[in-house]
């Protein structure tokens, strides 16, 4: 099948590459010339495990192409995916300018009769109808609209795309549904369902799913904070509650708050939609508020130990990306934490296995960028663990201790280490919700 994917970011590049891997002929389009040039040279502009090999294989097989020239790609395509960004606008709603711009281009150049325009971007209820009317104003051929929200996670995007829990297809067109079923057929042979529904419900499903996951995180962060206050251990509580099948064990890890390109903006966009329809989303108001506070939790711990003036103090940071296995810095809690330390006069040296470049775009020269965990710890009064990269789990902590200043502190924002073990080594050890933290 000939497919065009508009927007070659995390979602567009992964989806386009995976569709090519299934034997389709895919052209990925982007307005970012630099990104397309890199891809043409075989350089993958994002870090996503396994993507490099898959892109190279499909380019070599002549099934995957990259271009900035939308018209050619759209003219040929039977299915055109919209996978451009829908960032948060100033009032909290989803900014649809990129979606509307590509809808105009699609309408202009759609040529294949009964082509299918599929919105993969996360968009508020009613957006697909807006896309339909934008395309209809321009298109000379009949076309069909599908809402097909994407559920992949950065860091495991290929696996999620190739082995989805489910695929949601929202459309009123039998023809479009049949084409989508055939496109996704190879991915659901082991039984994952393709769930058919109306367009508005598909749009809503994506927001509801992300908001539920964000809610679980904020809920557990509040439980963790209470655990600290009452002297309970949230890790034990998590196991005790997560084994209940009605609750399930995923997304119950407390930490430094959620970030990334989806949860924060999607929670806010759904709150905005609710307000626009005169319906409150008080739970999500709190989810957002709790999350903002949680990003400062570790800073509060630092201030409780060292006071508000951190001048002449040096901090090591492990982890900059918003989570492990990605280089994505969008809404990363590390940004809030680092800026709070800098504002209080501290100096910072940070290490992230993948996000050095993307972090530099946000933080510039305001911090030092370390080459590994040990460099980041060298000469530090305190170490903050912000992202749970696997390589942070078992470093040589005696070496780390030896590199740091006397009486160092370890602020473990991801609960990676054994509190007793770390205290026995000589760290003043702080965690998120595993018993009382040091008082000073
Ligand atoms: N990143 C995720 O984990 C994830 C997961 C599920 C859903 N989503 C949703 O998918 C959508 C895309 O997210 P992303 O993270 O891939 O975004 P991204 O910012 O990584 O990529 C978007 C791309 O679209 C390009 N673009 C903008 N205007 C264009 C135009 N007119 N023509 C062609 N390309 C254009 C940009 O240059 C950019 O490369 C968003 O709605 C997001 O909420 C993201």
pTM of the model: 0.96
Q: Domain of 422: which CATH number?
A: 3.40.50.720
- Give the chain's count of helices (H) and strands (E): 18, 14
| Ligand 1 and 203: CB distance under 6 A | no
| Ligand 1 and 148: CB distance under 6 A | no
Could you say which DSSP state residue 192 is in?
Answer: P
Residues paired with residue 82 on neighbouring β-strands, in sequence order: 6, 119
Q: Are residues 352 and 294 in the same domain?
A: yes
- Please determine, for residue 245, whether its predicted confidence score (pLDDT) is greater than 80: yes
What does the pLDDT read at residue 437?
79
- When computed from its CA atoms, the radius of gyration of the chain, rounded to whole angstroms, is 23
Q: Of all protein residues, whose CA lies closest to atom 31 belonging to ligand 1?
A: 102
Give kind and range of the element (H or E) at residue 248: none
Q: Of all protein residues, whose CA lies closest to atom 35 belonging to ligand 1?
A: 7
- Please determine, for residue 439, whether its predicted confidence score (pLDDT) is greater than 80: no
Q: Which of 150, 153, 361 to mutate to test ligand 1, by most ligand atoms within 8 A of the CB atom?
A: 150
Q: Are residues 372 and 397 in the same domain?
A: yes
Q: Are residues 213 and 171 in the same domain?
A: no
CA of 84 relative to ligand 1 center, distance in Å: 4
Residues above pLDDT 90, as percent of the chain: 98
310-346 in b/e burial notation, b at 16+ Cβ within 10 A?
A: beebbbbbbbbbbbbbbbbbbbbbbbbbbbbbbebeb
| Ligand 1 and 150: CB distance under 6 A | yes
- Please determine, for residue 405, whether its predicted confidence score (pLDDT) is greater than 80: yes
- Please determine, for residue 440, whether its predicted confidence score (pLDDT) is greater than 70: no
CA of 53 relative to ligand 1 center, distance in Å: 21
| Ligand 1 and 29: CB distance under 6 A | yes
What is the C-alpha to C-alpha distance for residues 54 and 29, in angstroms, rounded to an integer? 18
Q: Are residues 423 and 281 in the same domain?
A: yes
- At residue 438 the predicted structure's pLDDT band, cuts being 50, 70 and 90, is confident
101 CA: nearest ligand 1 atom: 31
How buried is 72 (Cβ within 10 angstroms: 0-12 exposed, 13-18 middle, 19+ buried)?
A: middle
Question: What pLDDT, in 10s, does the model give residues 272-307?
Answer: 999 999 998 999 999 999 999 999 999 999 999 999
How buried is 224 (Cβ within 10 angstroms: 0-12 exposed, 13-18 middle, 19+ buried)?
A: buried
Torsion (CA) 216, 219, 224, 229 in degrees, nearest 10: -170
- Please determine, for residue 161, whether its predicted confidence score (pLDDT) is greater than 90: yes
What does the pLDDT read at residue 425?
96
- At residue 13 the predicted structure's pLDDT band, cuts being 50, 70 and 90, is very high
14 CA: nearest ligand 1 atom: 16
Question: What pLDDT, in 10s, does the model give residues 133-159?
Answer: 999 999 999 999 999 999 999 999 999
Q: Are residues 180 and 215 in the same domain?
A: no
Of the three residues 196, 221, 242, the one that is the final residue of a domain is: 196
Q: Of all protein residues, whose CA lies closest to atom 13 belonging to ligand 1?
A: 85
| Ligand 1 and 352: CB distance under 6 A | no
CA of 306 relative to ligand 1 center, distance in Å: 41
CA of 28 relative to ligand 1 center, distance in Å: 12
- Please determine, for residue 61, whether its predicted confidence score (pLDDT) is greater than 70: yes
Closest C-alpha among 179, 46, 47, 205 to residue 122: 205
- Please determine, for residue 435, whether its predicted confidence score (pLDDT) is greater than 90: no
Give kind and range of the element (H or E) at residue 263: helix 263-276
Q: Are residues 110 and 169 in the same domain?
A: yes
Q: Are residues 219 and 178 in the same domain?
A: no
User: For residue 361, what are the domain limits?
Assistant: 198-440
- Mean pLDDT value of segment 354-360: 97
Q: Are residues 29 and 67 in the same domain?
A: yes
Q: Are residues 151 and 208 in the same domain?
A: no
Of the three residues 196, 220, 244, the one that is the final residue of a domain is: 196
Q: Are residues 124 and 25 in the same domain?
A: yes
Q: Are residues 203 and 191 in the same domain?
A: no
How many CA atoms are closer than 13 Å to the CA of 113, on its beta-carbon side?
0
Of the three residues 169, 196, 223, the one that is the final residue of a domain is: 196
What is the C-alpha to C-alpha distance for residues 20 and 183, in angstroms, rounded to an integer? 11
- Mean pLDDT value of segment 45-62: 96
What is the C-alpha to C-alpha distance for residues 24 and 20, in angstroms, rounded to an integer? 5
Which residues have a catalytic role annotated?
Answer: 262
What does the pLDDT read at residue 195?
98
Q: Are residues 352 and 278 in the same domain?
A: yes
Are 175 and 117 spatial neighbours (Cβ–Cβ below 8 Å)? no
> How many independent structural domains does the chain possess?
2
Terminal-to-terminal C-alpha distance of the chain? 64
Are 184 and 194 spatial neighbours (Cβ–Cβ below 8 Å)? yes
CA of 39 relative to ligand 1 center, distance in Å: 16
Question: What pLDDT, in 10s, does the model give residues 201-217?
Answer: 999 999 999 999 999 99
Q: Of all protein residues, whose CA lies closest to atom 36 belonging to ligand 1?
A: 7
């Amino acid at each position: 099948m000939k497919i065009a994917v508009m927007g070659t970011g995390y979602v567009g590049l992964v989806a386009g590459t995976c569709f090519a891997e299934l034997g389709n002929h895919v052209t990925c389009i982007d307005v970012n010339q630099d990104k397309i040039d890199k891809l043409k040279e075989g350089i993958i502009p994002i870090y996503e495990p396994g993507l490099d090999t898959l892109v190279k294989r499909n380019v070599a097989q002549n099934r995957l192409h990259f271009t900035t020239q939308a018209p050619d790609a759209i003219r040929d395509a039977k299915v055109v995916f919209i996978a451009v960004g829908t960032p948060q606008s100033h009032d909290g709603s989803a900014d649809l300018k990129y979606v509307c711009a590509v809808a105009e281009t699609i309408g202009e150049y759609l040529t294949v009769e009964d082509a299918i325009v599929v919105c993969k971007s996360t968009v508020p209820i009613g957006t697909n109808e807006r896309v339909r009317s934008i395309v209809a104003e321009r298109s000379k051929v009949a076309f069909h609209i599908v809402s097909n929200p994407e559920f992949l996670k950065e860091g495991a995007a290929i696996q999620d795309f190739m082995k989805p829990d489910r695929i949601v297809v929202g459309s009123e067109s039998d023809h479009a549904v049949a084409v989508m079923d055939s496109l996704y057929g190879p991915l659901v042979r082991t039984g994952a369902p393709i769930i058919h529904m109306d367009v508005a419900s598909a749009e809503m499903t994506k927001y509801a799913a992300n908001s539920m996951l964000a809610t679980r995180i904020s809920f557990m962060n509040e439980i963790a904070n209470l655990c600290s206050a009452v002297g309970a251990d949230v890790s034990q509580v998590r196991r005790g509650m997560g084994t209940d099948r009605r609750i399930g064990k995923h997304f119950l890890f407390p930490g430094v708050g959620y970030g990334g390109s989806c949860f924060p903006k999607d929670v806010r966009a759904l709150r905005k939609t609710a307000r626009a329809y005169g319906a409150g989303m008080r739970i999500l108001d709190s989810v957002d508020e709790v999350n903002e506070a949680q990003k400062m939790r570790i800073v509060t711990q630092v201030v409780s130990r060292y006071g508000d003036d951190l001048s002449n103090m040096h901090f090591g940071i492990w982890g900059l990306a918003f989570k492990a296995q990605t280089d994505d810095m969008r809404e990363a809690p590390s940004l809030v934490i680092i800026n709070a330390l800098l504002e209080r006069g501290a100096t910072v040296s940070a290490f992230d296995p993948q996000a050095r470049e993307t972090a530099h775009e946000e933080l510039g020269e305001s911090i030092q960028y370390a080459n590994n965990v040990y460099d980041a710890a060298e000469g530090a009064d305190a170490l903050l663990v912000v992202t749970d990269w696997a390589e942070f789990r078992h470093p040589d902590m005696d070496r780390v201790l030896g590199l740091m200043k006397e009486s160092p502190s370890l602020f473990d924002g991801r609960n990676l280490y054994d509190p007793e073990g770390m205290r026995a080594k000589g760290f003043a050890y702080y965690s998120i919700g595993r018993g009382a933290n040091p008082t000073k």
